[in-house]
């Protein structure tokens, strides 16, 4: 480990160079063409086998060792967000209106940094490392993980353990955090169309007022949260947009509500969705309105860290000098890394980058999001260590294959 920390000093400037290049040239969901090309070229230059066009613009690298062991998957996402960058740095986005505001540029750079370290340590490696560079994490529905898995990214050779690292603007620099079990939510979104019957604003009794019914539905949905779901289980329902009406004296025909529900367990998730539908239909029926309720298809599952793997990850990360590793409460954002975790046990973990002295104080997705680049080398070391340690997990008694 000590050697990895000193070796990463040699790669640090390259890691930062890659990060800045990708940051200056961000690409949106499923359009990560140039980014994927850069990733594939870098992996090939390290002697790593590469497949491109996996599930869209995904890239899979395979680094094999000569010794028996596990296959460890390490994942980075590559897409940027439709945000106008509001940070004054020399490598500001050249693609106006597109910004790496979630830090996926750093994920690419950190994973390529890990690849540089692991390629050097090929002889000490057991099993193999699969580098999973995925498109379209920010898609929200059909994110890039699912098509990559469908294209066989987790097979041949089958991935035994999988890890994903995310940069976190809310946590202090050089602090890793994770937890056992659920760490991120299932981010379901819904659209409710309430159909009434329009008319004159002065004669509501002759109409079925969809705006009034919408108000009742919004109130009743908070009752799902406070009166129908176990209060010890996190559950959020937020109606985030309402569209209806055209003029101050016309009762419109319909209203459209859109919102999101967040849950941390698949059982509660199913129950919450059922309750949202039942309550909405019942309230509409009470006032003679009808409704259509659609949940977005392919919403990401809950991101669940395998408890045993997480325990081991805690102890591995805690050996990295210059960093701290802590446990934190789950957050109700979503991640399609959850899909990789349905294929193999593993862990999703975070690395803090908040550093007020460098002006790195804004959260991910902000137009002012700024990363403390000094943390990147630690991210690379952590990924390389997980590959080395989990590649050898349970393999110590076996003789090396020559």
CB of 77 to Zn ion, least distance (A): 6
Per CB under 5 A, the segment of 6-14, 101-109, 221-229, 317-325 that binds Zn ion is 101-109
| C-beta closer to Zn ion: residue 254 or 335 | 335
Picking from 168, 141, 160, 11, the residue whose alpha carbon sits closest to that of residue 74 is 160
Q: Tokens for 130? A: 């699969």
Question: Has 30 been annotated as catalytic?
Answer: no
Q: Which residue is nearest to Zn ion (CB)?
A: 102
d(CA 302, CA 337): 9
80 counts as binding Zn ion under rule CB under 5 A: no
Angle between helices 210-223 and 266-286 (to 10 degrees): 150
CB of 264 to Zn ion, least distance (A): 18
Q: Tokens for 118? A: 């692991």
CA 126 to chain centre: 28
Output the CA–CA distances (angstroms, integers) from residue 34 to 22, 45, 71, 293, in the order listed: 9, 17, 28, 39
| C-beta closer to Zn ion: residue 102 or 175 | 102
Per CB under 5 A, the segment of 22-30, 96-104, 305-313, 392-400 that binds Zn ion is 96-104
69: left (phi over 0), alpha (psi -120 to 50) or beta: left
Q: Tokens for 37? A: 């090309």
Tell me the site size for Zn ion, rule CB under 5 A.
1
**Considering only residues 102, 117, 136, 165, which one is a binding residue for Zn ion as defined by CB under 5 A?**
102
Q: How many other β-carbons are positioned within 10 Å of the β-carbon of residue 254?
A: 22
Angle between helices 2-24 and 376-392 (to 10 degrees): 120
CB of 103 to Zn ion, least distance (A): 7
Per CB under 5 A, the segment of 5-13, 97-105, 115-123, 237-245 that binds Zn ion is 97-105
Picking from 231, 237, 222, 386, the residue whose alpha carbon sits closest to that of residue 310 is 386
CA quadruple 201, 203, 206, 210: dihedral positive or negative?
A: positive
Question: Has 349 been annotated as catalytic?
Answer: no
| C-beta closer to Zn ion: residue 99 or 224 | 99
Residue in 300, 335, 378, 389 annotated catalytic: 300
Per CB under 5 A, the segment of 95-103, 140-148, 291-299, 321-329 that binds Zn ion is 95-103
CB of 102 to Zn ion, least distance (A): 3
CB of 335 to Zn ion, least distance (A): 7
CB of 80 to Zn ion, least distance (A): 10
- Specify the pairing of strand 128-134 against strand 71-77: parallel
Contacts for 110 with CB less than 8 Å, ≥ 6 apart:
15, 76, 165, 376, 379, 380, 383
| C-beta closer to Zn ion: residue 104 or 273 | 104
CB burial string 170-187: b at 16+ within 10 A, e below: ebbbbbbbbbbebbbbbb
| C-beta closer to Zn ion: residue 77 or 254 | 77
d(CA 366, CA 122): 39
| C-beta closer to Zn ion: residue 75 or 273 | 75
Per CB under 5 A, the segment of 94-102, 112-120, 246-254, 380-388 that binds Zn ion is 94-102
CB of 135 to Zn ion, least distance (A): 13
DSSP, collapsed to helix, strand or coil, labels residue 323 as: coil
Residue in 27, 32, 137, 373 annotated catalytic: 373
| C-beta closer to Zn ion: residue 102 or 268 | 102
Active-site residues, by number, are 300, 373
Residues that bind Zn ion (CB under 5 A): 102
């Amino acid at each position: 480990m000590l050697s990895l920390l000193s070796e990463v000093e040699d790669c640090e400037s390259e890691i930062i160079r890659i990060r800045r290049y990708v940051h200056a040239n961000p690409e949106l969901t499923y359009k990560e063409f140039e980014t994927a090309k850069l990733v594939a070229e870098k992996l090939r230059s390290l002697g790593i086998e590469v497949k491109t066009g996996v599930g869209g613009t995904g890239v899979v690298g395979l680094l094999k060792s000569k010794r028996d062991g596990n296959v460890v998957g390490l994942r980075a996402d590559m897409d940027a967000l439709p945000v106008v960058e509001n940070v004054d740095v020399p490598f500001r986005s050249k693609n106006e209106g597109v910004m790496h505001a979630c830090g996926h540029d750093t994920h690419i750079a950190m994973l390529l940094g890990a690849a540089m370290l692991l390629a050097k340590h090929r002889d000490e490696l057991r099993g193999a490392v699969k580098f999973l560079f995925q498109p379209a994490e920010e898609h929200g529905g059909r994110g890039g993980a699912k098509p990559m898995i469908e294209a066989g990214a987790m097979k041949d050779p089958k991935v035994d353990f999988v890890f994903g690292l995310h940069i976190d603007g809310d946590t202090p620099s050089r602090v890793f955090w994770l937890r056992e079990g659920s760490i991120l939510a299932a981010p379901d979104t819904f659209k409710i169309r309430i159909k009434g019957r329009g008319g004159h604003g002065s004669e509501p009794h002759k109409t079925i007022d969809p705006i009034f019914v919408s108000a009742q539905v919004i109130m009743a949905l908070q009752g799902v949260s406070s009166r129908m779901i176990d209060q010890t289980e996190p559950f959020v329902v937020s109606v985030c947009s309402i569209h209806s009406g055209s003029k101050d004296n016309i009762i419109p025909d319909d209203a459209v509500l859109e919102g999101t529900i967040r849950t941390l367990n698949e059982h509660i998730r199913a129950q919450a969705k059922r309750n949202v539908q039942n309550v909405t239909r019942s309230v509409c029926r009470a006032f003679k309105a009808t409704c259509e309720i659609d949940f977005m298809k392919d919403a990401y599952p809950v991101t669940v860290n395998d408890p045993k793997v997480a325990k081991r990850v805690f102890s591995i990360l805690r050996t990295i000098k210059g960093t701290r590793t802590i446990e934190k409460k789950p957050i109700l954002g979503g991640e399609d890394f959850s899909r990789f975790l349905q294929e193999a046990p593993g862990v999703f973990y975070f690395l803090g980058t908040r550093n007020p002295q460098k002006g790195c104080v804004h959260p991910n997705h902000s137009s002012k999001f700024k990363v403390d680049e000094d943390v990147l080398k630690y991210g690379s070391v952590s990924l390389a260590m997980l590959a080395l340690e989990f590649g050898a997990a349970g393999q110590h008694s076996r003789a090396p294959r020559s």
